[in-house]
Amino acid sequence: MSKIRVVHYINQFFAGIGGEEKANIKPEVREGVVGPGLEFNKNFSDEAEIVATIICGDSYFNENVEEAKAEVIGMVKKYNPDLFIAGPAFNAGRYGVACGTIADAVQSELNIPVLTGMYIENPGADMFKKSVYIVSTKNSAAGMRKAVKVMAPLAIKLAKGEEIGSASEEGYIPRGIRKNYFAAERGSKRAVDMLVKKLKGEKYETEYPMPDFDRVDPNPAVKDISKVKVALVTSGGIVPKGNPDHIESSSASKYGKYDIASFDDLTSETHETAHGGYDPTYANEDADRVLPVDVLRDLEKEGKIGELHRYFYTTTGNGTAVASSKKFAAEFAKELVADGVEAVILTST
C-alpha cells in the first residue's frame, strides 16, 4: 500500500532562512522535508510522508494574500497530495493567519483534507476554527514535539476519511459544531452528577462550555485632569513618515515609541498609518484623526489637562495576537508610570 502523500507549508523562520528580515520572501517549494517536517515524518511512521515543503515569508503572504494563495495552490496542485498540513504556527499571529488562510483555500479549491495547529489566542485560530481543523498548541515552538504528536494521527485520520472524534478526544480547537448523540443516562441525571462533583470540588466536564470573556475592571476616575500628565497610545498604526521601525500592517510583532514634543499638529508630511485593516486615506491626510495630538495641544494650552506626554506608543491592532498585545502593554506601561503619566487615551480606528 502506497504512503499518504503530504505537502507541508511553513514560514521563513521554520525553514531556517531567517527571521523578520526575511519575512518578504515569495513562495518557493523544496522537494521532501524541511524543518519541522522531520518531526512529522517521524510520527507518521510508515503511513505517510512529506513529499514537498512550501515556504513563504509571513509578510509577503499577508500583504499579497490573493497572489500568495494562487502561487501556493499551484505548487500544491503540482504534487497531487492526499493531505495538506500548515505549520504549526503556535502564537505567531501573521504565521497563524497565513496557515489558516492557505489551509482553507487548499481545502476549498483542491478538495483535499487540511490540518494546521496554533495557540488558542492566535488570531488565525478564531478566524478559521469553524472551517479548518486546528490542533491546539502551546504558545511557542517549545511545544513543537507535543503539537506534532497530536497533529500526526489526526492528519492520518483526515487523509483516510475516517470519523473524527470530539475536540477533547482529538486535540483540535472546538469548532462550534454540536452533534446529536444517544447518551447512556438522561440529561437531568448527568446535570445532577456534575453539580455534586462541583460541590465536592471534584473534576467534572461541562457539556456546554460558556464563552470566557477577559473583563478588565476600570480604574477610578481621574480626580483633576487639569493637573495630570496624559499620554496617547494607539492601535491605529500611526507612525512617523516612512514607518522607520517597519511595524507590520497586520498581526504586529512589535510596537513603536515616538517623540511628539515638537509637534502641535500631525501632517501628511510628518506622519502616516501603517495599519492594513482600514482605508488609510484619511489617516494619511491627517494623522490627528487617529492620534489627536492637535486637540490635546489645545487642551494643554487651555489648562484643561496638565500636559501631553512627549512620547506616544503605537502598533497595528488587526490580527495581532492577544498575548502579543498584553506583552506590549506590560512593557510600555512600566515606562509610562516611571515617566509620571497618570492617564492614557487609547485610540483605535
| pLDDT-based confidence at residue 151 (cuts at 50, 70, 90) | very high
* Residue with grid cell 447512556, as numbered in its chain: 184
Query: Stretch 249-266: mean pLDDT, rounded?
Result: 91
CA distances from 348 to 48, 81, 277, 331 (A): 47, 43, 11, 19
| pLDDT-based confidence at residue 289 (cuts at 50, 70, 90) | very high
Q: Name the residue ranges covered by the structural domains of the chain.
A: 4-170, 225-347
Tell me: the pLDDT tens digits for 48-58?
A: 999 999 999 99
Residue 1 has pLDDT above 70, yes or no: no
Alpha carbon 312 to its chain's center: 24
CA–CA gap between residue 226 and residue 236 (Å, rounded): 26
pTM for this predicted structure: 0.70
pLDDT of residue 253: 83
Quote the cell numbers at residue 45: 511512521
CA–CA gap between residue 60 and residue 161 (Å, rounded): 33
CATH architecture of 4-170: 3-Layer(aba) Sandwich (3.40)
